[in-house]
A = this chain, B = another copy of it.
């Protein structure tokens, strides 16, 4: 086995160990010693692979989000029509978040850290995923409009909002201690966004005004 493969593998092992300990203990409370012990290696070895604790934090997040993006991409690819793709995104997200419920607080810590640190790599990585989701969301939205499912809407603005909404529902779920079923919340949200809440009567009164707002997006 070539050395470079070993190095890559060990690096992954450390990231995995770090993911476990960070998730359990939190970024600030976790010590490199903890991680090394979890990985079954010496403290100094961690520093052969990551220059700082912060770098390791980023690597954990990166691995996480790469997994997520791959999951979404794979499931979307397998879906046959646009509606199925939309469902694939939603289901992948729910699946992913539910599987990693224990890592949720770490996600908040990372967001908080990203806004504090001088290291731009954190916000960059965060926004890479956001961009991935926004692009995918906008694309699918455009298709739904073309196919006559959706009324005319600013697809970019909608995708941006949807990504935010997803995070917000997830956040509510986490802060609520998982007090409601996440998948049901996502389904409910989707119905809400699709169908709207207005009564027939109110819709007719407000239709043109609201329609123009949807078309204008966030401007």
Contact = CB atoms under 8 A, between A and B. Distances in A.
B115 A197 contact: no
A217 interface: yes
Interface residues of A, number: 71
Main secondary structure of the interface of A (DSSP, over half): helix
Q: How many copies does the complex hold?
A: 4
Interface stretch (A12-20, A74-82, A90-98, A175-183): A175-183
Nearest to A29: B116
A161 interface: yes
A161 B192 contact: yes
Interface in A202-219: 202-203, 206-207, 210-211, 213-214, 216-219
Given A26-B116, A126-B175, A149-B198, 4 more contacts: A148-B201, A158-B192, A165-B189, A196-B197
Interface of A: 26, 28-29, 104-105, 108-109, 111-112, 114-116, 123, 126-127, 130, 144, 148-151, 153, 157-158, 160-161, 163-177, 180-181, 184-185, 187-189, 191-203, 206-207, 210-211, 213-214, 216-219
